[in-house]
A and B are shown apart, each in its own frame.
Chain A
Amino acid sequence: DIQMTQSPSTLSASVGDRVTITCRASQSVNTWLAWFQQKAGRAPKLLIHKVSNLDSGVPSRFSGSESGTEFTLTISSLQPEDFATYYCQQYDSYPWTFGQGTKVEIK
Chain B
Amino acid sequence: EEQVVESGGGLIQPGGSLRLSCAVSGFTVSNTYMSWVRQAPGKRPEWVSSIHGGTSTYYADSVRGRFTISRDNSRNTLYLQMNNLRVEDTAMYSCARITQATGWIPFDIWGQGAMVIVSS
Can you list, as one digit per residue, whether each of B66-87 has a CB less than 8 Å from chain A (1) or not (0)?
0000000000000000000000
Residue in A87, A91, A95 whose CB lies within 8 Å of B44:
A87
Residue in A45, A91, A99, A100 whose CB lies within 8 Å of B106:
A91
A22 part of interface (Cβ distance < 8 Å): no
Cβ B46 vs Cβ A46 within 8 A: no
Residue in A45, A49, A100 whose CB lies within 8 Å of B105:
A49
Cβ B44 vs Cβ A98 within 8 A: yes
Provide the residues of chain A in CB contact with B27, threshold 8 Å: none
B61 part of interface (Cβ distance < 8 Å): yes
A-B interface contact total, Cβ < 8 Å = 52
Residue in A32, A55, A87, A91 whose CB lies within 8 Å of B45:
A87
B111 part of interface (Cβ distance < 8 Å): yes
A65 part of interface (Cβ distance < 8 Å): no
Q: How many residues of B contact A (CB 8 A)?
A: 21
Within the complex, the shortest CB–CB distance from A68 to chain B, in Å, comes to 19
Provide the residues of chain A in CB contact with B102, threshold 8 Å: 50
Cβ B105 vs Cβ A95 within 8 A: no
A46 and B107 in contact, given A87-B44, A87-B45 (Cβ under 8 angstroms): yes
Provide the residues of chain B in CB contact with A96, threshold 8 Å: 47, 106
Most chain B CB within 10 A, of A36, A43, A91, is at A43
Cβ B108 vs Cβ A55 within 8 A: yes
Question: In the complex, given contacts A44-B110, A94-B47, what are 4 additional A-B residue pairs having Cβ atoms less than 8 angstroms apart?
Answer: A49-B108, A89-B107, A95-B47, A101-B44
The 8 A-B pairs at the shortest CB distance, nearest first, are namely A43-B110, A96-B47, A91-B106, A98-B44, A49-B105, A98-B45, A95-B60, A46-B108
